[in-house]
Amino acid sequence: MGEVTKQVLDSGNAAWILTSASLVFLMTPGVAFFYGGMVRAKAVLNMLMMEAAALSVTVLIWGLWGWSIAYAGKSVGGIFGDPATGFLLKDTMVAQDGVFTSSELNGNAYPASVDVAFQAAFAMITVALICGAIAERVKYSTWMIFVALWITFDYAPMAHMVWNGGLLSADGPISKAIGAAAHDFAGGTVVHINAAVAALIIVLIIGKRKGFGTEPMRPHNVPFVMLGAFLLWFGWFGFNAGSAFAANGTAGYAWVSTSLAAGAAMLAWGFTEKIRTGHYTAIGAASGIVAGLVAITPAADVISPLWSIVLGAIAGVLTCLACSLKFKFGYDDSLDVVGVHGVGGLVGTVALGFFMQDTGLFAGGDWRQLVVQIIIAVVAMAFSAVITTIIAFILEKTVGWRVTQAQEVSGIDLADQGERAYDFSATASSVIREVK
């Protein structure tokens, strides 16, 4: 028998993935600015608080049982891991001489505890995306309960299915049956399709804001929106380049492909908007950036620079057009979560069937990669729809989702937080004193 080589810590990989976890964490505050600027002034604090809940509730659930369900527990039917094996991170964190550290190194020679941090940040940003669709009308208390339930019963199982050898993974039964390995590098299905479908389901259950479609609901702070988009682009380097799970050339290429797609999508959205409305808007630029980032997420490691640009451009055009569908079909997706993340995530996931190196139709492959990508996208949508419907319906019939109509009209910030973001009366008084 050969000698067993003990794995040695790769401090470069450890430092990069821990940095990436911090970058992905920053994405949720980025979304807070992005969404916070888009809502009306009377609802901005509530939006920021919903994002804060996405951070706080998620990390608690992740430490209790979310990590175990997604990555640590014994797989149950390829759908979820048992919640007991890694409960309270007992499989990952150990005490040595009174100091807690990681129980082991993972396959890329960095501590498993770093994996817990990185994947927790992914869970946070995924549920954080949902609240943009339900802005200005949902109780903060109900939202906190939803986050805990959704991370437990939807996100963690979906991560297990795609990224931990489960039903939708590259070596799962669907991939084996078709003869092509399903690919989702950093979350086209787990994050974007999943969150967008959940958002749409809740919107359909809770209904429209008062005045939707009949009165203007303009963003109150466009610079906030732009700042949020820039923070998201920055954070996405951890999201995509970090998903190489090593400080290597794939991480570097993911940085490049991510930026190529984001840049192309911003320009494509802008040109589409110019043709339709006569303007290149700042909101459109910010949304285009995010659309490109979403679309490249599942594909950042396996499509060429040319196809990264093409994918970004396609996503920019299609998401721009898709955002107007809510008025045609009458669903009040307040901040276009379905249009940007749903359509963008679907475009990126399915486009791998055409652009993926060696296996895509346009890159040396055949039809099988396209088929497997379509199937995993459809299964992800179905799973998210079923689980979210159950959770959202139970909450609707018990604690209720909506604030009262009077509270919505006067402003959810006052109703739920008892505060205002801006003291307009004080500002007006100051102006009057200066004039006098």
Per-residue model confidence as pLDDT tens digits over 331-340: 999 999 999 9
- What's the pLDDT at 213? 86
DSSP lists the bridge partners of residue 93 as: 102
- CATH for 181: 1.10.3430.10
Neighbours of 179 (CB within 10 A): 11
- What's the pLDDT at 431? 43
Considering the domain boundaries, does residue 100 fall inside one? Answer: no
pLDDT tens, position by position, 175-227: 999 999 999 999 999 999 999 999 999 999 999 999 998 888 999 999 999 99
Considering the domain boundaries, does residue 275 fall inside one? Answer: yes
The chain-wide mean pLDDT, for the chain, equals: 95
**Which residue type occupies 9?**
L
Considering the domain boundaries, does residue 431 fall inside one? Answer: no
Query: What is the rounded CA–CA span in Å between residue 428 and residue 419?
Result: 18
The pLDDT > 70 percentage for the chain reads 96
- Name the one residue in this structure whose structure tokens are 């954080």: 128
Kindly report the backbone phi and psi dihedral angles of residue 26, in degrees, each rounded to the nearest multiple of 5, phi listed first.
-65, -25
Query: What is the rounded CA–CA span in Å between residue 182 and residue 172?
Result: 8
- pLDDT-based confidence at 5, cuts 50/70/90? very low
DSSP lists the bridge partners of residue 81 as: 75
Contacts of residue 344, Cβ cutoff 8 Å, sequence gap at least 6: 192, 290, 291, 292, 294, 295, 315, 318, 319
Give the β-pairing of 93-96 and 80-81: unpaired
Question: Does residue 48 sit in helix, strand or coil?
Answer: helix
The average pLDDT across 134-140 equals 97
Q: Show the tokens assigned to 339.
A: 């249009």
Considering the domain boundaries, does residue 4 fall inside one? Answer: no
212 alpha carbon, distance to own chain's centre: 25
pLDDT tens, position by position, 386-429: 999 999 999 999 999 999 999 999 999 999 999 999 986 655 45
How many structural domains is the chain composed of? 1
For residue 1, is pLDDT > 60? no
Query: What is the rounded CA–CA span in Å between residue 234 and residue 242?
Result: 12
Considering the domain boundaries, does residue 428 fall inside one? Answer: no
pLDDT tens, position by position, 161-177: 999 999 999 999 999 99
Q: What is the DSSP letter of 109?
A: S
Q: What is the DSSP letter of 215?
A: S
Query: What is the rounded CA–CA span in Å between residue 148 and residue 161?
Result: 19
User: What is the value of pTM for the model shown?
Assistant: 0.95
Considering the domain boundaries, does residue 112 fall inside one? Answer: yes
- pLDDT-based confidence at 263, cuts 50/70/90? very high
Cβ density class 45-80: b for 16+ within 10 Å, e for less: bbbbbbbbbbbebbbebbbbbbbbbbbbbeeeebeb
Alpha helix ranges (H) inside 39-171: 44-61, 67, 112-130, 140-150, 156-163
- What's the pLDDT at 179? 96
Q: What is the DSSP letter of 246?
A: S
Q: Which structural domain, as residue segments, surrounds residue 29?
A: 11-92+106-236+249-420
Q: Residue 130: which of 199, 78, 70 has the closest Cα?
A: 199
DSSP lists the bridge partners of residue 76 as: 80
Considering the domain boundaries, does residue 427 fall inside one? Answer: no
Considering the domain boundaries, does residue 434 fall inside one? Answer: no
Query: What is the rounded CA–CA span in Å between residue 265 and residue 259?
Result: 10
